[in-house]
Amino acid sequence: MILTPKILARVAAAVILGALLQLCFFSQVAILQVSPDMLPALVVALGLLGGSMTGAVCGFCAGLLVDSLLMLPLGGSSLVLLGIGYAAGLFRERFEIHSMLVPPLLCMGLTFVAELGFGAVELTLGPGGPVSLLVLRDMLVQAILAFFGGWVIFLALRRLLRAALVEEPMVRPRRGPRVIGA
Amino acid sequence: MYRKQVRRRRALLAILVIGSFALLTATYGRGSDGFQRAVSTVFGPVESVASGALKPARDLVNWFDETFEARGRNEALQRRLEEARRQAVGAQAALAENAQLRKLLKLNRSGVIPSGYKTVTAGVVARSSSVWFGEVTIDAGSGDGVRVDDPVINGDGLVGTVTAVSGSTARVTLITDHSSRVSAKVVPTGVQGVIRPEVGDPDDLVLDFIDSGKRIGVGQAVVTAGWRDGELASRYPPNLPIGEVTKAPIMQQEAAQQVHLRPFADLRNLDIVQVLTGGSR
């Protein structure tokens, strides 16, 4: 990704908008009795489009913003989100994305990992206590919701940052030449 | 060049990770600090505006989720209601059964059942659909020791007699069946007679062939006579309660030598009975 001031502003806007949407909308709705968590999907999409450093920095900033807005101890969400942003970027740098299913699948898998990470941070820092297995079900539902949400987020971000992308991550099937009058 | 890039990347990653840990360490358990307050001050108004603007969308999404959840809950509650109904009906049936068994136990303890008889408790599994209420089938048969002509009682009194037996079931002809005849006596007067049914009315029996010289009063109890004459003996042991006299006009006693009585046992609603097997017959 070619980072110009304009692109940086767009990325920052995407992160801020994503964090605000997460706090004002997604966290307050219930789908299948679970509030979707779209922030990991946003960070994964940014990592897939911009690479590991972009993913890590965006994850860190998104986590910091969310923790600040929620008045939580700073650093916990940042640590988790920078990890998945970095992992998504690394995936993009190591492998070619051949299918449109890869970004949403990565969003799903890394959202699940992020939720595990949030849980680990909570359990490490918090007072601890019994954890119901229903948490696993909620995490799975969140991951499935991230599959669909991640798809939309990835397509929207790709459109937003198209000018900065060095190459299209998708390998599109080429159309055959049209023969006129055949 | 590439190595430099990699090194720079790693350094940035390390800085971010260390920064996260440092922030955690610095801010954990201290509440909001200046940075957080500043961020909240900047984004607070934006948050409230966004929250207000997104409220309809939130309500819409939540409405769908709540509707689906309510539907699922409704179905679950319907299932629970049906289950509770079944349990309630089962409990009521068990209570009724318990009451009948208690009555039987009380009858057994009262010494009404003569020595030498064994009791076989059985449930009524089928009933004659005829309006005469003449016969029922019970779930005890020859395998349980039940034989033809064994008397059958319930907690209230005499019910009838066994008229057919298979391995696991038996047919009981009730005392209200048109073919039934029971030798009986009125207590305490000791007037003897034969009970026959008033066909078509299961709540009415007739004590026939009584001694017209002795008076019988309404409310007096009628029990089995249980006579024995050499080889011949009544099917029924003596003193099994049958019913109480309901109508005893003197004219009828003198002219027709009969009185009317109501059976103690509710012969239309039999559930549990006891067959008296063995005995001295």
Average pLDDT, integer, range B23-50: 79
Write out the two tokens for B235.
């099917």
Closest CA to B161 of B64, B87, B240: B240
Determine the residue of chain B that is closest to A67 in CA distance. Answer: B36
Residue B26: list chain A partners with CB under 8 A.
Answer: 74-75
| CA-based nearest distance A63→chain B, Å | 10
When comparing pLDDT for B117 and B227, which is higher? B117
Interface test mutation site (partner B, options A15, A68, A72, max chain B beta carbons within 10 A): A68
Give the number of other Cβ atoms within 10 Å of residue B77's Cβ. 10
Answer yes or no: is pLDDT of B200 > 70: no
| Strand extents, DSSP E, A75-127 | none
A75 closest CB neighbour out of B23, B29, B54: B23
pLDDT exceeds 90 at position B73: no
pLDDT at A2: 76
Mean pLDDT score, A86-90: 92
Q: Is the pLDDT of residue B131 over 60?
A: no
pLDDT at A42 over 90: yes
Residues 6+ apart with CB under 8 A from B39: A65, A68, A69
**Looking at CA atoms only, how far is residue A13 from chain B in angstroms?**
13
DSSP calls for B140-204: --GGGT--TT-EEE-SSSEEEEEEEE-SS-EEEEETTSTT--EEEEEETT--EEEEEE-TT-TT-
**Phi, psi (rounded to 5 degrees) for B272:** -125, 135
How far apart CA B270 and CA B154 sit, in angstroms, is 8
The predicted model scores a pTM of 0.54
Q: In terms of C-beta density within 10 A (0-12 exposed, 13-18 middle, 19 or more buried), how is residue B146 classed?
A: buried
Is A69's CB within 8 Å of B26's CB? no
DSSP state of B91: H
Model pLDDT, residue A110 = 94
Query: What is the spatial distance between Cα B40 and Cα B57, in angstroms, rounded to a whole number?
Result: 24
pLDDT tens track for A99-141: 889 999 999 999 999 999 988 887 787 666 666 778 888 889 9
Q: Are B259 and B216 a contacting pair, CB within 8 Å?
A: yes
CB count in 10 Å sphere of residue B252: 15
Chain-chain contact of B47 with A24 (C-beta, under 8 angstroms): yes
pLDDT, one tens digit per residue, over B241-275 is 899 998 888 777 777 778 889 998 888 778 889 99
Contact check, Cβ <8 Å, A73/B29: yes
Note the pLDDT of residue B5.
Answer: 79
Residue B88 corresponds to which tokens in the numbers above? 């309630």
Question: Would strands B228-229 and B205-208 be described as parallel, antiparallel, or unpaired?
Answer: unpaired
- Beta carbons within 8 Å of B54's beta carbon, 6+ residues apart: A21, A24, A25
CB contact under 8 A, B40 and A71: yes
CB contact, 8 Å: B255 with chain A? no
Q: Are A127 and A159 in contact (CB under 8 A)?
A: no
CA angle A69, B37, A25 (to 5 degrees): 20
Interatomic CA distance for residues B261 and B265, integer angstroms: 12
Q: Quick check: B35 and A125 CB within 8 A?
A: no
Q: What is the rounded average pLDDT for all residues in chain B?
A: 82
Q: Tell me: the pLDDT tens digits for B82-124?
A: 889 888 888 887 888 788 788 878 777 777 777 788 889 888 8
* pLDDT reported for residue A87: 94
If 0-12 CB within 10 Å is exposed, 13-18 middle and 19+ buried, where does residue A30 land? middle
Contact B113, B237 (CB under 8 A): yes
φ, ψ for residue B171 (rounded to 5)?
A: -100, 130
What residues have CB less than 8 Å from A118, skipping those under 6 apart? Answer: A76, A77, A80
- Check residue B32 and give its pLDDT: 60
CA dihedral A35, A41, A43, A48 (to 10 degrees): 180
- Put simply, the answer to whether A56 touches B16 (Cβ < 8 Å) is yes
Q: How many CB atoms are closer than 10 A to CB A82? A: 27
In this prediction, residue A45 has a pLDDT band, given cuts at 50, 70 and 90, of very high
Q: Where are the beta strands (DSSP E) in chain A?
A: none
Residue the block writes with tokens 């000791």: B190
Q: What confidence score (pLDDT) does residue A105 get?
A: 94
Whether residue B65 and residue A28 make contact (CB cut-off 8 A), yes or no, is no
